Every structure is written in structure tokens, then in C-alpha cells.
């Protein structure tokens, strides 16, 4: 944001009788400016390395022979580099049913997101455009629910799910999906995001549509939804990431099922799976394989992040609570 | 604003009202009710009436099985790590540290011109990653032979291994706090940066003319002008840290020491979920509910206090 009266002239304070002159002070100022910049960049580079190190280590460890991981190596040194990679990943995939977990996650993520978007559009429209008694009070109540710890809801929702017969030993695929999806279709945060966006659309458009004989319903889908596409993309991406990373709820609702291994979503699977090798009749957990599984879990997210960076950052930047 | 539009609005809201009624508002009330019911039966809903007994059990005052002489002090305890003390420790260590670090990083990013977007992206990246998966990475890095444990041994001649069996409460808590701070940074940096970009450059030019140093400018100009964002972040991160659970699961997947009796890595939320895990779900729901209500009350009090304090501190 540039102010209308931005100052572009450099001011130099010269004290008469002092040895310094304009040239010298300018040079000194220049030196300190450069010095400050060097410090800034050095600090940021070091901080970035620290922040990104876990990612580096995750990828590197997935390329290492197990002995290198156990000895805390920074880079793979034992064995053939490419053979290690192929061995680690094939062994991991033989014990870590990646396709199934991703499949489960995507079914839950896509269904949840689709329903969420429809419900969010309808309610955001009502809050932004339609007038009815109690609108502001209702919206305030909605927002207030964001302050309440989700654990309060999880407890009763678990009872509800078990009363609906969606959990338990004989849980089927469909029942598990339903139990994972149902409580997350309504999202106050997304309603809030979209309502703010809808409110920015000028009223004149609405009046014009009314003159053209368009109904509220047509106006919503033909004018407002297309105009709010960026926000809807943001909601979709955030929702899919949320489903991918969800652990607590999918873990709880599948925990009593007999065939829970087949119902796990990716985040539940990576925590519960045992990646181990049989050595002298003892199962020895393999950290390098665990890192392969982590890579397989995290990389799709990073790809999504790089592609949709703008949408993700603008969405979360507009004040939100994760998860 | 005629009547027909009024009724149509409720049609648009019907799906969300039904869903939130069933999965938000009903659970909220129901959980509070259950927390006050004696011997609540999850499947039939049968109970022995209104009581404060569940709260007594959670707070370690009353015996769950009367006459057993055993009170459960894993939620709150005066002489060993408990759910509440761990949660308070995590909150008061990680919230201030992560706010200061992210504030410094945001100010530095705002300070530079070249590569600004790049650094912005780099520091935001951990936000989208999976807490469980990266928790596993941390657990490997801090395991017995792990890279950081080796480094730590080299520097301080002692181990901070969090491998099962060789772990101490202190080491586990240290690594947990590090991990929580790591996961907490990206969101804070993003919010601070968007706040910084909204500050009028004239303030900085005025400070420059007055000959203020960079440090002084940050302290006297930037931070006061950023106080709304700092308040928002403080409140949300207090709430977030109070509900810490996924990080513990990702790092340790356990709350107990080797003998599996002492729950020294419990957090409040961990305690709640352990109560409804597997078979105990049928008989322990009322205790989990009581703990959830306590969590709710603590969070409310914290939020209200911070709002009160902020009224004096926030500069608009």
C-alpha cells in the first residue's frame, strides 16, 4: 500500500563542526543498509534450512540402507544408491497398502468436499443475500461454535455413529465412509469465508438479475457461484487437505472394526501400520521404510501445495482455524 | 423483504441447520449432560441420575470403584506429570516461543525485496504437511541412533533419545515442544506477514527520519501496529496448544512409560480420547465428557482473560 505522499528524498543529518560530510554519512548509511540486508538474508536462509530439514531428512532416510538411518547419517553411504531406493520402496509398498489407503482417503475426501461445497454455498447465500428474522444472531451463534473444542462434539458424535449402527466389529466399507463423512459436511469456517466473498458482490448485479426476471436460485448459481470461483477452489483444496490429514475421527470410528486395516485412511494407516523385517525370528521395525511411507503421505500434499499455493495461502490468511 | 423470501431463506439453511443440529449443537448439550450422569450407559442411555461424581473421579478426588482405595490421578496430580500439567507446560512453553520466532521471521521476510515470495512460500510449506507423518520423521531423528540424538550426545554428552524403553519424561517433553513449535510456525508467519504488509510505509519513514535503529523500529513501531494480529494469534494458539494431541500421537503413539502404568505424556485431549478408546468406550464416556467440559471451561476462561487484557494492550 503506497501512501499518497510517499517521501522519496534521502535526508541526511549533518552536525556542523563535526568531521563528517554528506558523502561520508551517505556512505555509512549505505554500508549499514547492505550490512542489515546481509544479516536478514543470512538469518532467513539459516531459519529456512532448519524449518525444511525434516523434509530433507525424510526423503534422504527413505533412500538409505537401514544401518545408515540407525547411525544417524546425513546422506546415504552404505550400499548402492538406486538399489536401496528400489528395495526400500518395494518392501514398504508390500507391507503398506498405499493404494487402498489413498483410495479410502480420496473417497472420503471427495464426497465430504462435494457435499460441503453445496451446503456451504446454500447457507453462505442465505447469510449474505437473503433477509430473514434472526439472521445476525444465527450467524453469531455459528461463529461462536468455532471456539468450542471439537472434543465436546467428538464424544457424542461417536455415540450417535454407534447408535446408527455405523461402527463396531462388523463395520462395512460403506458404513465406515459414512461415519467419517457425515459430521464434517457442515463447516462454519467455510460458510464464513464464502459469505464474506458473496457480500463483496455488488447489490446492483442482484437488482439487475431481478429485473431480468431471474429467481434467487438462478441468480445464486448463474452469477454468484461463478464470481466466487476462487474462494470455492480455496475451500475445495483446504477441505481435501483436511481429509487427507485427519487422524482423530477416522481412527476412532474404525478402531473397533474387525477389518480395520482395510478401512484406514492414509493418516491413520501411517500411524498404525508396522513396517518391520523378520530377523532371527524377531520383527525389527525398519525406520527407512517408515520414512518411505512418510514420503508417500507427504509428497502428494506438497504437490497440491505447490500447484494451489495462492489459493491455500489466501484462504488460510483470511483468518481460520486448522482442522 | 417479504414473507415468501423469509421462508425461502430457511430452505437454503435447512441442510446446514439439520447437520449442525445433529453433529454440533446436540453433541454440545449432550456431552455436558452426560458429564453429570452417574454410571451412564452408552448404548441404552440408562443412568443413575444427576451427579458431580464424574468430575470428582477425573480430578482424582473420588475413587472410581468406591472402597478400592485407588484414585486416578492421570488427569491432575501434584507430584507427577499429568494430563493437565503437561498441557499447561506445552502451552506456556510453545506459545510464547513460537510467537517470538515467527514474529522475527515475518519481520525479516517483510524487510527484504528479492526472494520475498520464495521465503514466504518456504516458511508456509510445513502448514500443509501431515502432523502424523512428520511426527514419525521427528521420532526417527530423535531415536537412539537418530541424527539429532547423536548430535546432542556429541555436544552435551547426554542422550535425548525418545525411543521406547530408553526415554525419560524430560527428553520426550523437550522433543514434543520442539515439534509443536515447528508445526506452529507457518500459520503464525502467514498471519503476521499479512499484517505487516498492511502497515503504512510512512510509519517506517518517520522512524527513519527520527534516526531509530532497526531493532527499535521493530519494537516501537512494528509490534504495536501488529498488536491485533498478535492478539488473534495468541488466542488461537493458546486454544490450539491446549488441545495438543496429534503431535503426541505422531511422535510417540503412546502416553505411558515403559511399564505402561504411568501416563506421563498425557495431554488433556489424549486423556479424553484414551477414555473412549476401544472397549472402555462403553463404561468411561461420562469421565471423558467431564474432562471435555473441563477443557471447554479452561479454554473459555483463557479466551475471556485474554480479550480483557487485550482491550488495554491492542493499538488500533
Q: Does residue B164 sit in the same domain as residue B34?
A: no
Q: Give the span between the Cα atoms of B51 and B58, in whole angstroms.
A: 13
Domain match, B130 and B250 both: yes
Q: Is B111 in Cβ contact with A152 (below 8 Å)?
A: no
Dist. CA B140–CA B147, nearest whole Å: 8
The mean predicted confidence, pLDDT, of chain B is 86
Per DSSP, the three-state class of A276 is strand
Which is higher by pLDDT, A141 or A11? A141
3-state SS, residue A126: helix
Q: Is residue B254 part of a domain?
A: yes
Neighbours of A5 (CB within 10 A): 6
Cα B39 from Cα B48, distance rounded (Å): 6
Cell, residue B20: 449442525
CA–CA gap between residue B106 and residue B182 (Å, rounded): 15
CATH number, position B169: 1.10.3720.10
B43/B187 same-domain check: no
What CA–CA distance (Å, rounded) separates B251 from B260? 17
Tell me, what's the pLDDT at A8?
Answer: 58
Contact A44 B209 (CB under 8 A): no
Using a CB-CB distance cutoff of 8 angstroms, which residues of chain A are in contact with residue B133? Answer: 58, 267, 270, 293-294, 297-298
For position B156, what pLDDT does the model report?
84
Q: How far is A272 from chain B (nearest CA, A)?
A: 9
Q: What percent of chain A has pLDDT over 70?
A: 92
CA nearest to B137, candidates B162, B157, B169, B173: B162
- If one counts the domains in chain B, the total is 2
Which residues on B lie below 8 Å from A160 (Cβ)? 22-23, 27
- Given an 8 Å threshold on Cβ–Cβ distance, is A6 in contact with B123? no
Q: pLDDT digits over A114-163, tens only?
A: 999 999 999 999 999 888 888 999 999 999 898 888 999 999 999 999 89
pLDDT tens digits along A265-310: 999 999 988 888 888 888 888 999 999 999 999 999 999 999 998 8
What is the rounded CA–CA span in Å between residue A21 and residue A232? 59
Task: Quote the pLDDT of residue B259.
Answer: 54
Bridge partner residues of A283 (DSSP): A278
Q: Are residues B33 and B94 in the same domain?
A: no
Position B169 scores a pLDDT of: 83
Residue contact B201–A2, C-beta within 8 A: yes
Residue B15 — pLDDT band, cuts 50, 70, 90?
very high
Name the maximum alpha-carbon separation found in chain B.
78
**Could you tell me the three cell numbers for A100?**
487402498
Q: How many CB atoms lie within 10 A of CB A272?
A: 15
Residue A246's DSSP bridge partners are none
Residues B150 and B245 both lie in one domain: yes
The confidence score (pLDDT) of residue A61 equals: 94
Q: What are phi and psi of A283, to 5 degrees?
A: -80, 120
| Tens-digit pLDDT profile for residues A38-83 | 999 999 999 999 999 999 999 999 999 999 988 888 889 888 899 9
Answer yes or no: do B128 and B261 share one domain.
yes
Name the strand (E) or helix (H) holding A189. helix A188-200
CATH hierarchy code of domain A96-273: 1.10.3720.10
Q: What's the average model confidence in pLDDT over A166-173?
A: 89
**Which of A26-40, A144-158, B153-167 shows the lowest per-residue confidence on average (mean pLDDT)?**
B153-167
CA angle, corner A139, sides to A240 and A146, nearest 5? 50
- Across the interface, of B105, B209, B276, the residue whose CB is closest to A158 is B276
The answer to whether residue B68 scores a pLDDT higher than 80 is no
* A60 backbone dihedrals φ, ψ, rounded to 5°: -60, -45
Question: Which of A7, A149, A256 is facing B299, going by the closest CB pair?
Answer: A149
Contact A153 B28 (CB under 8 A): yes
Written as nine digits, the cell of B14 is 435447512
Domain-located, residue B310: no
Asked whether the predicted pLDDT for residue B149 surpasses 70, the reply is yes
Helix (H) or strand (E) run with residue A282 in it = strand A282-285
Instruction: Report helix, strand or coil for A180.
Output: helix
Final residue before a domain boundary, out of B41, B58, B75: B58
Q: Does A321 have pLDDT greater than 70? A: no
Q: Does the pLDDT value for residue A6 go beyond 60?
A: no
Q: What is the CA radius of gyration of chain B?
A: 24
Residue among A125, A293, A301 whose CB faces B128 most closely: A301
Tell whether B43 and B191 lie within a shared domain: no
The pLDDT value recorded for residue A2 is: 45
The pLDDT score that the predictor gives to residue A207 is 87
CB contact B21 to A (< 8 Å): no
CA distance A69 to A193: 44
- Residue A300, judged by CB atoms within 10 A of its CB (0-12, 13-18, 19+), counts as middle
Residue B171 belongs to some domain of the structure: yes
Top-confidence residue, B141 or B211: B141
pLDDT digits (tens, 9 = 90+) for B16-66: 999 999 999 999 999 999 999 998 888 788 888 888 999 998 898 888 877
- Structural domain that includes position B47: 3-58
Average pLDDT, rounded, for chain A: 88
Q: CB–CB of B244/B210 below 8 Å?
A: no
| In a shared domain, residues B194 and B47 | no
Cβ(B166)–Cβ(B144) under 8 Å? yes
Residues of A in contact with B16 (CB under 8 A): 119-120, 122-123, 186, 191
Helix (H, G, I), strand (E, B) or coil at B268: helix
Q: Which residues contact B170 (CB under 8 A, 6 or more apart)?
A: none
CB contacts < 8 A (A, B): 277
DSSP class of residue B21 equals I
DSSP secondary structure letter of residue A256: T
Please give the Cα distance from B246 to A196 (Å, whole number).
31
Adjacent-strand bridge partners of B37: B50
pLDDT at B214 over 80: no
Prediction ipTM score:
0.88
What pLDDT band is residue A13 in, cutting at 50, 70 and 90?
Answer: low
Q: What percent of chain A has pLDDT over 90?
A: 54
pLDDT, residue B49, reads 86
B215 interfacial to chain A (CB closer than 8 Å): no
pLDDT at B269 over 50: yes
d(CA B291, CA B272): 6
Contact B2/A at CB under 8 A? no
Separation between Cα atoms, residue A78 and residue A68, nearest integer Å: 7
Query: Is residue B135 located within the same domain as residue B174?
Result: yes
pLDDT in tens, A221-262: 988 999 999 999 999 999 999 999 999 999 999 988 888 899
Domain boundaries, chain A: 22-88, 96-273
Cell numbers 465428557 correspond to B289
According to the model, what pLDDT value does residue A119 have?
Answer: 96
CA atoms within 13 A on the CB side of B138: 31
- Tell me how far apart the terminal alpha carbons of chain A are, to the nearest angstrom: 32
Chain A residues whose beta carbon lies within 8 Å of the beta carbon of residue B123: 47-48, 51
Q: How far apart, in Å, are the Cα atoms of A262 and each of A37, A276, B16?
A: 54, 19, 31
- Residue B158, classified by CB atoms within 10 Å of its CB into exposed (0-12), middle (13-18) or buried (19+), is exposed
Cβ neighbours of B205 (radius 10 Å): 15
Q: Is B22 on the interface with A (CB under 8 A)?
A: yes
Give the tens place of pLDDT for each residue, B220-256: 888 888 888 888 899 889 989 999 999 999 988 766 6
Q: SS3 for A278?
A: strand
Q: What is the pLDDT of residue B78?
A: 78
Do the chains contact at A216 and B129, CB–CB below 8 Å? no
* Cβ contact A256–B278 (<8 Å): yes
| H or E element in which residue A163 lies | helix A151-163
- What band does A263 get if pLDDT is binned at 50, 70 and 90? very high
When pLDDT is averaged across residues B111-134 and rounded to a whole number, the result is: 91
Decide if pLDDT at B257 tops 70: no
Within 8 A of A287 by CB-CB distance, chain B residues are 140, 143
A145/B20 CB distance under 8 A: yes
Whether B1 has a pLDDT exceeding 50, the answer reads no
For B112-222, where are the alpha helices, taking DSSP H only?
A: 116-124, 131-141, 147-156, 169-197, 201-209, 214-217
Residues B135, B46: one domain?
A: no
Q: What is the CA radius of gyration of chain A?
A: 28
Amino acid at each position: 500500500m503506497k501512501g499518497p505522499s510517499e517521501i522519496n528524498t534521502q535526508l541526511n543529518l549533518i552536525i556542523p563542526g563535526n568531521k563528517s560530510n554528506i558523502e561520508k554519512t551517505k556512505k555509512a548509511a549505505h554500508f549499514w543498509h547492505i550490512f542489515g540486508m546481509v544479516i536478514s538474508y543470512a538469518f532467513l536462509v539459516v531459519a529456512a534450512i532448519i524449518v525444511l530439514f525434516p523434509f530433507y531428512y525424510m526423503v534422504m532416510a527413505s533412500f538409505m540402507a537401514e544401518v545408515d538411518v540407525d547411525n544417524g547419517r546425513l546422506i546415504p553411504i552404505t550400499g548402492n544408491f538406486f538399489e536401496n531406493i528400489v528395495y526400500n520402496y518395494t518392501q514398504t509398498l508390500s507391507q503398506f497398502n498405499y493404494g487402498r489407503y489413498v483410495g479410502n482417503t480420496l473417497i472420503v475426501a471427495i464426497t465430504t468436499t462435494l457435499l460441503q461445497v453445496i451446503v456451504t454455498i446454500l447457507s453462505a447465500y442465505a447469510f449474505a443475500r437473503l433477509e430473514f428474522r434472526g439472521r445476525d444472531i444465527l450467524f453469531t451463534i455459528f461463529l461462536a461454535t468455532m471456539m468450542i473444542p471439537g472434543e465436546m462434539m467428538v464424544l457424542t458424535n461417536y455415540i450417535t455413529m454407534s447408535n446408527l449402527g455405523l461402527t463396531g466389529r462388523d463395520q462395512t466399507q460403506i458404513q465406515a465412509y459414512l461415519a467419517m463423512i457425515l459430521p464434517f459436511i457442515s463447516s462454519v469456517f467455510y460458510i464464513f469465508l464464502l459469505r464474506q466473498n458473496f457480500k463483496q458482490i455488488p447489490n446492483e448485479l442482484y437488482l439487475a438479475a431481478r429485473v431480468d426476471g431471474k429467481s434467487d436460485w438462478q441468480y445464486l448459481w448463474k452469477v454468484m457461484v461463478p464470481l466466487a470461483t476462487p474462494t470455492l477452489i480455496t475451500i475445495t483444496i483446504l477441505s481435501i487437505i483436511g481429509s487427507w490429514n485427519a487422524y482423530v475421527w477416522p481412527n476412532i470410528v474404525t478402531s473397533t472394526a474387525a477389518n480395520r486395516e482395510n478401512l484406514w485412511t492414509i493418516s491413520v494407516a501411517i500411524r498404525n501400520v508396522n513396517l518391520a523385517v523378520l530377523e532371527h525370528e524377531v520383527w525389527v521395525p525398519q525406520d527407512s521404510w517408515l520414512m518411505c511411507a512418510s514420503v508417500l503421505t507427504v509428497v502428494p500434499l506438497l504437490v497440491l501445495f505447490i500447484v494451489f499455493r495462492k489459493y491455500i495461502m489466501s484462504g488460510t490468511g483470511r483468518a481460520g482455524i486448522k482442522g | 423483504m417479504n414473507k415468501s423470501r423469509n421462508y425461502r431463506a430457511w430452505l437454503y439453511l435447512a441442510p446446514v441447520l439439520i447437520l449442525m443440529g445433529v453433529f454440533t449443537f446436540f453433541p454440545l448439550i449432550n456431552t455436558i449432560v452426560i458429564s453429570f450422569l452417574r454410571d451412564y450407559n452408552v448404548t441404552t442411555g440408562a443412568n443413575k441420575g444427576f451427579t458431580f461424581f464424574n468430575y470428582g473421579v477425573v480430578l482424582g478426588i473420588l475413587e472410581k470403584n468406591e472402597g478400592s482405595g485407588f484414585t486416578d490421578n492421570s488427569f491432575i496430580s501434584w507430584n507427577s506429570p499429568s494430563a493437565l500439567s503437561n498441557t499447561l507446560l506445552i502451552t506456556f512453553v510453545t506459545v510464547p516461543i513460537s510467537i517470538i520466532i515467527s514474529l522475527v521471521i515475518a519481520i525479516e521476510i517483510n524487510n527484504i525485496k528479492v526472494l520475498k515470495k520464495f521465503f514466504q512460500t518456504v516458511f508456509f510449506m510445513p502448514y500443509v504437511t501431515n502432523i502424523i507423518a512428520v511426527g514419525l520423521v521427528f521420532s526417527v531423528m530423535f531415536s537412539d541412533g537418530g541424527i539429532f540424538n547423536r548430535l546432542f550426545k556429541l555436544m552435551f554428552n547426554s542422550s535425548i533419545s525418545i525411543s521406547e524403553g530408553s526415554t525419560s519424561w524430560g527428553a520426550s517433553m523437550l522433543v514434543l515442544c520442539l515439534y509443536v513449535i515447528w508445526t506452529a510456525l507457518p500459520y503464525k508467519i502467514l498471519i503476521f506477514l499479512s499484517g505487516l504488509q498492511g502497515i503504512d510505509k510512512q510509519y517506517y519513514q518517520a522512524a527513519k527520519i527520527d534516526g531509530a535503529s532497526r531493532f527499535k523500529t521493530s519494537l516501537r513501531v512494528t509490534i504495536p501496529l501488529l498488536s491485533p494480529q498478535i492478539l488473534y494469534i495468541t488466542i488461537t494458539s493458546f486454544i490450539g496448544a491446549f488441545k495438543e494431541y496429534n503431535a503426541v500421537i505422531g511422535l510417540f503413539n503412546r502416553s505411558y512409560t515403559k511399564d505402561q502404568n504411568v501416563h506421563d505424556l498425557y495431554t488433556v485431549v489424549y486423556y479424553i480420547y484414551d477414555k473412549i478408546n476401544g472397549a472402555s468406550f462403553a463404561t468411561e464416556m461420562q469421565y471423558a465428557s467431564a474432562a471435555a467440559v473441563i477443557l471447554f471451561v479452561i479454554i473459555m476462561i483463557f479466551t475471556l482473560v485474554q480479550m480483557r487484557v487485550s482491550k488495554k494492550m491492542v493499538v488500533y
